[in-house]
Amino acid sequence: MDVEPTVYQIFTPATPANLAFIEREEINNNLVNALRTPGKQIVIYGHSGSGKSTLINKKLERLYENHIVSRCMQGMSFEQLVLDAFDQLSPFYTTEKNQKTTNSVSAQLEATYLGIKSQLSGTSLRESGDKSTRALPPQLTLQNLARFMGQSKSCWILEDFHKINESDRALLSQAMKVFVDMAAEYNTLKIIAIGAVDSARQVVKYDHEMRTRVAEIHVPLMNLHELQDIIIKGGELMNLRFDSSLSSTISHYAAGLPSICHTLCLNICVHLDFNIPSEKLVNIRKESLQPALKMYLDEASDTLKMAFENNLKQSKVKKYNNPELIVKALSELPQEGGTRADIYKRITKYEKDYPQGNLTKYLKQMCEKEITPLIRSSESSGKYAFIDPLYRAFAMALVSITHSHDPHELIDWNDAIASFIKSFSTEELTKSIHTYKILYATDK
């Protein structure tokens, strides 16, 4: 019999999904085609947490023999990435071979690899400032790296490529060109660059001739159906049945982010003490969301509260609480936010004489907050939106609580945030949850 998974293997808020993975039809074909087409380079982009890594992991599992993953970090240079990839290829060229090297080409390649390796491990430590970095041996060209990868039937994944220095990012385009050229010789050779940005062009700026050689794949936030599918799939694996009203509420709060969906489901299970799949099918009701949300807010609330407080507090009393009006308007707009005009229209529903100039000024100010950003503008769409869908969810709840009486009433945000968080710790609810298993256990 298979070993039973634990809830942590099913609901995976911080790692790529595996057991509760759901297919994403609209991206699937493009991605699979691009992976199968020799010479096609790939750029995957989209909001952080939208599911880029999960998707590529799952597809590579099926379509590729090997792959090399280089994780980019802030301030890393392209040279360091080349070295990283080179190091990771080591097992293909240095392990004891049980079969003899089959032909002279691969024998020669192996010799080249080992030659470079010994140069690297020898005298090539060079001091630069505090850090000692390894110099790139002249033989470690992009062509040679491509050969090493091609021979090992690997593709090269560059995770979080947006973190690389701007100046070094241009080198990716050159590397892709080399990989395109060498794909005639090595069919599986390709670079897959992944970036948490709004457009493929922010990941790599390639030139005209490369246009048809690069597949740009956008991974959008998840829609409500996809999020619900995660809940259903994870629920089945846990032998739990999430009420339809509960699963639609979770999907709503997730605000497009599968990671929040996993978080809330995991919290519900942990709170109800389901660490492994239940023996009997158990119904999970809507009430169990409250403690799960509270667990979630407890972890995230510092950042959230700080962002809201810093953006909304006013040093002097002004005629309008401008940031508050903006937040309220944005919370009523869809996930992708709205243009300046959309926001203005919302605000004038409540404040019909609101000056245009105020909106311009405060939108700009709020987008420039570097330490505790709450909203951002997107150049590609011309829209303003919460920087994180999570903030939108928070704002929606906040607004719905604080504006339930008089829409013109000014909000004391500190109070509102505090009471909002408190509203999730109602003792009764927490207590009632503990009797869940008994109350809602049903026979299969």
Ligand X SMILES: Nc1ncnc2c1ncn2[C@@H]1O[C@H](COP(=O)(O)OP(=O)(O)O)[C@@H](O)[C@H]1O
Using CB under 5 A as the criterion, which residues of the chain lie in contact with Mg ion when the complex forms? 53
Residue 37 beta carbon to ligand X: minimum distance, rounded to whole angstroms = 22
Residue 9 beta carbon to ligand X: minimum distance, rounded to whole angstroms = 11
Contact characters 122-141, ligand X, x per CB under 6 A:
--------------------
162 makes contact with ligand X (CB under 6 A): no
Contact characters 331-370, ligand X, x per CB under 6 A:
----------------------------------------
Helix, strand, coil in percent for the chain, rounding step 5: 55, 10, 35
User: Which C-beta is closer to ligand X: that of 25 or that of 279?
Assistant: 25
Residues 239-298 contacting ligand X, CB under 6 A: 258-259, 262
Distance of CA 66 to the CA centre of its chain: 23
Residue 72 beta carbon to Mg ion: minimum distance, rounded to whole angstroms = 11
Q: What is the DSSP code string of 188-236?
A: T--EEEEE-SSSGGGT----GGGGGGEEEEE-PPPPHHHHHHHHHHHHH
User: Which C-beta is closer to ligand X: that of 53 or that of 290?
Assistant: 53
235 makes contact with ligand X (CB under 6 A): no
Residue 98 beta carbon to ligand X: minimum distance, rounded to whole angstroms = 36
* Cα–Cα dist 49/257, whole Å: 6
Binding partner of residue 262 among ligand X, Mg ion, none, CB cut-off 5 to 8 Å per kind: ligand X
Distance of CA 68 to the CA centre of its chain: 20
Candidates 12-20, 119-127, 210-218, 383-391: pick the segment binding ligand X (CB under 6 A). 12-20
- For residue 214, the cross-strand partners are 41
Q: What is the 3-state secondary structure (H, E, C) of 328-340?
A: HHHHHCCCCCECH
Q: How far is CA 218 from CA 51, 106, 222, 405, in A?
A: 10, 37, 12, 42
- Residues that contact ligand X, how many (by CB under 6 A): 19
Q: What is the DSSP code string of 278-307?
A: -SS-EEE-GGGHHHHHHHHHHHHHHHHHHH
Binding partner of residue 24 among ligand X, Mg ion, none, CB cut-off 5 to 8 Å per kind: ligand X
Residue 229 beta carbon to ligand X: minimum distance, rounded to whole angstroms = 8
Among residues 42, 49, 235, 271, the one that binds ligand X under rule CB under 6 A? 49
Pick from 229, 284, 287: nearest CA to 262: 229
- For residue 157, the cross-strand partners are 69, 192
Task: Give the binding site for ligand X (CB under 6 A).
Answer: 12-13, 16-17, 20-22, 24, 48-54, 230, 258-259, 262
